[in-house]
């Protein structure tokens, strides 16, 4: 932060600006955070997907994935995010959960 203002960097310039500032760790942290978000929505985790879809809109994710000015590592993490969060999210078939317990009052004698 500079003078209590957040640092705003265009995502295309993120790697070069942070390298210039000698903050490569922040760039690697950002790349790891995008991968973590993709992993949080893996396996159709609807609790995570519902929250993360509002933060990472499909237009933003597609733009970052297709942007050739962004490094391959970050783009591959955006591809994982696109797949887990927006493409492969709906259940393929309904899940029927069996009732494994009985309530005593429901048993007819």
CB 34 within 8 A of CB 55: no
- State pLDDT tens for residues 32-69: 999 999 888 887 778 888 888 888 899 989 998 899 98
**Measured between alpha carbons, how far is 10 from 99 in angstroms, rounded to an integer?**
52
Residue 84's Cβ-side half-sphere holds a number of Cα atoms within 13 Å equal to 23
In a domain, 97, yes or no: no
In a domain, 71, yes or no: yes
In a domain, 26, yes or no: yes
Mean pLDDT of 2-16: 74
Mean pLDDT of 89-97: 69
In a domain, 65, yes or no: yes
In a domain, 1, yes or no: no
Q: What is the mean pLDDT of the chain?
A: 82
Q: Provide the token pair at 1.
A: 């932060």
Q: What are the b/e assignments for 46-57, b being 16+ CB within 10 Å?
A: eebbeebeeebe
Question: Which residues form the domain of 52?
Answer: 11-92
Q: What is the pLDDT of residue 93?
A: 67
Q: What is the pLDDT of residue 1?
A: 47
Q: Which residues pair with 5 in a beta bridge?
A: 2
CB 45 within 8 A of CB 89: no
Is pLDDT larger for residue 43 or for residue 70?
A: 70
In a domain, 23, yes or no: yes
Is pLDDT larger for residue 6 or for residue 83?
A: 83
Helix (H, G, I), strand (E, B) or coil at 12: helix
- State pLDDT tens for residues 15-25: 888 878 888 88
Q: What is the pLDDT of residue 45?
A: 77
pTM above 0.75, yes or no: no
Domain count, the chain: 1
């Amino acid at each position: 932060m500079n003078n209590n203002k957040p640092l705003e960097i265009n995502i295309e310039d993120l790697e070069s600006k942070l390298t210039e500032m000698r903050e490569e760790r922040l760039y690697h942290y950002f790349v790891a955070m995008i991968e973590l978000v993709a992993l949080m929505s893996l396996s159709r985790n609807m609790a995570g997907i519902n929250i993360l879809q509002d933060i990472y809109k499909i237009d933003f994710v597609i733009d970052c994935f297709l942007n050739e000015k962004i490094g391959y590592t970050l783009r591959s993490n955006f591809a994982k995010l696109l797949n887990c969060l927006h493409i492969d999210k709906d259940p393929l078939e309904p899940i029927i959960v069996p009732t494994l317990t009985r309530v005593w009052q429901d048993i007819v004698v």
